[in-house]
Chains A and B, each alone.
Chain A
Amino acid sequence: MIARALDWLTLGKHSTYGLAVTRMILGFIVASQLAVNWSDRSYTWGDGAGWTETVRNSKSWPAFLGLFKQVSGPAFDVAYLVTIVFGILMMIGLYTRASTFMTLFLWMSLYVANPFVGSGGDAVLRMVMLYMCFVDAGQHWSVDSRLRGRRGAIKPLMPVWFSATLHNLATILIIHQVVMVYVASAFWKVQSPVWKGGTAVYYPLQTLAYSPWHDWLHPVYATGPIIAGATYTAIVVQLFFPVLLIYRPTRVVALIMITGMHLGIGIFMGILYFSLVMIAVDMILVSDKSWIRAFEWVNSRRKANPVDEESLRI
């Protein structure tokens, strides 16, 4: 068994397609988040965020993450734009590992400038991005892979067995991270009377912080079976998520349900950023075979409908 585990770790890189999808979505999230916050950048993280100093300094973040705290005015804007550029480079997979590392470094430097506006999504993002620095996320669906196809592979910097080990262990850590969030969340839920009573989902939807639709959807929120269904589904899917991952048919069900849950949270509670981060990480759990099949299906559809392909080009 130990020999099999060692072979699994050292003889090849796993989940390379899923990691490519995760890389693309995470790069998009970083770039789009910064674009969304562009107009308020100084107030949120720049000169206007100095009032948070008392509390932000209580955390012992390493000094090398102090970039955004030390620059202001045009220099801050340049650093902000460079972060967006690296997010895009990560998304398209150009110099993938370096751009992932730089995106992480710059994103974290920005986060440290005002942790007060951070969210649960940031915690997951920073951990997954750290692990992403050790994986080969640019092996597929990236500019790097296209360049490799044209000019051929470059001699690797480190032995293949070591590179594969780092890749696979980091992949395990990413999967562990996402599974842990679900299971820990479920453990907290089952200790709470409102979750056990099947009404928990109702409460945040009533608060102004989590109701971007205000009273528009109140008739839906006030419907007992809908609230109970959403509450119990959340508990069951999260609690049994690791078990459901073991068997392929149940894994498909689990991924569809958890993605639906995140989309529901994002759309109805107005926290799409957090939801997208979780969906991005969940994509690693889709097997490479499934990604290849999906890719081939899309390709075959495009070939079968040349007119559609033409219209897409236009």
Chain B
Amino acid sequence: MPDSPVDEAPPRPWQKWIVAVLGLLVVVHSILLTLWLAPASPIRDLVGSRGLASYVDPYFEQSADSVDPDAQYVDESFQVRALVQSNTAKPKVTHWVDLTAEEDHRMRFDLDPARVHVIARRLATNLNGVMFALDPQQREIVPLSKVSTLPSKLQARLNAAGSNPIAVQNFMAYSQMATQFASLYAAAKWNGGDVYQVQFKVGRRTVPPFAKRHTDKLADVHYLWFAFGWRPAFHGSYDARSAFNSYVNN
């Protein structure tokens, strides 16, 4: 019996066909979403990951990371420093600022933190991800890039050192994004001077095993760092700089 009965005669045959087609669409849609989220299996392989992605992307996409428990066993750090000139003094390299630590401080005892407090950590996760996706020889090239190194030149060097153009392309995209973010952050942080260059590094460390919980603390574990070369500062629009100023100096 329906929970909310409707005073209506049973549907006619043509109406039943419409209901049946709609029902079939729902079943197919449900199966595709289930396969997308499920771990690898012969059925999933039969449909193919690319075929599934073309259906779910972008609206119905759900990241496997949100259900993958292995994604949360590491602690990450994103740090920025800059070459800044204040007044007429010589340009000086600032100290490293740990943006993830700042975010953690702001999130302390906050059960529903503002979304802005996850940005540095997300950057760290993505940058670590793209670095681990590169070959070891390619990773050695990254910190050697200089201010004068054009992105296209760096990309060419990375491609020459490995055979993973998609990983290199992802690296370039996230690296460019992090450069823009670091530049806007640096301009807000050291707003008394002109920011000429920025550099950032990301770290990752793994939580010590549960068996050693009484002796080993995460705070004592060293980060595995990936440093990125110095980059020319990105200046951004006035509105973008104002938005960063408002957050960083609040």
Using a CB–CB cutoff of 8 Å, the interface residues on chain A facing chain B are 5-17, 36-37, 39-40, 42-44, 46-55, 58-61, 72-73, 116-117, 119-120, 123-124, 126-127, 130, 139, 159-162, 164-166, 169, 172-173, 176-177, 180-181, 184-185, 187-189, 191-192, 194-195, 197, 199-200, 202-204, 206-210, 212-214, 221-222, 227, 266-267, 270, 272-273, 287-289
Contact = CB atoms under 8 A, between A and B. Distances in A.
Interface of B: 1-6, 8, 10-11, 15-16, 18-20, 22-23, 26, 29-30, 33-34, 37-39, 57-70, 72-76, 100-101, 104, 107-116, 118-119, 121-122, 126, 173-174, 176-177, 180-181, 184, 207-208, 210, 213-214, 218, 234, 236-237, 239-240, 242-244, 246-247, 250
A180 B184 contact: no
Residue in A54, A58, A222 whose Cβ sees the most chain B Cβ within 10 Å: A54
Given A10-B11, A184-B34, A48 B240 contact: yes
Contacts of B181: 51
A207 B207 contact: yes
A188 B111 contact: no
A61 B58 contact: yes
B15 A117 contact: no
B26 A172 contact: yes
A-B residue pairs, 5 tightest by C-beta = A12-B2, A48-B243, A120-B66, A47-B239, A51-B180
A103 B233 CA distance: 38
Given A10-B15, A210-B72, 14 more contacts: A11-B2, A36-B112, A37-B114, A37-B116, A40-B116, A55-B173, A124-B62, A161-B19, A173-B29, A197-B210, A202-B210, A206-B208, A209-B121, A270-B107
Contacts of B29: 173
Contacts of B121: 209
Contact of A212 (B8, B19, B69, B111): B111
Contact of B214 (A14, A116, A123, A222): A222
B242 A47 contact: yes
B213 A222 contact: yes
Q: Is the interface of A mostly helix, strand, loop or mixed?
A: helix
5 contacts: A124-B62, A127-B60, A164-B6, A177-B33, A189-B69
A51 B184 contact: yes
B236 A51 contact: yes
B39 A191 contact: yes
A130 B67 CA distance: 21
A50 B8 contact: no
Contacts of B174: 54-55
Given A139-B4, A180-B37, A200-B69, A47 B243 contact: yes
Contacts of A159: 15
B73 A203 contact: yes
B187 to A, nearest CB: 12
Contacts of A177: 33
Nearest to A57: B173
B145 to A, nearest CB: 17
Contact of A48 (B10, B59, B67, B244): B244
Which one of B59, B121, B126, B207 has the greatest number of beta carbons of chain A within 10 Å?
Answer: B59
Contacts of B112: 36, 270, 272-273
Contacts of B100: 208
B111 A176 contact: no
Given A73-B239, A165-B19, A188-B69, A13 B38 contact: no
Nearest to A72: B239
Given A11-B5, A16-B3, A37-B114, A181 B246 contact: no
Contacts of B75: 206-209
A187 B38 contact: yes
B240 A6 contact: no
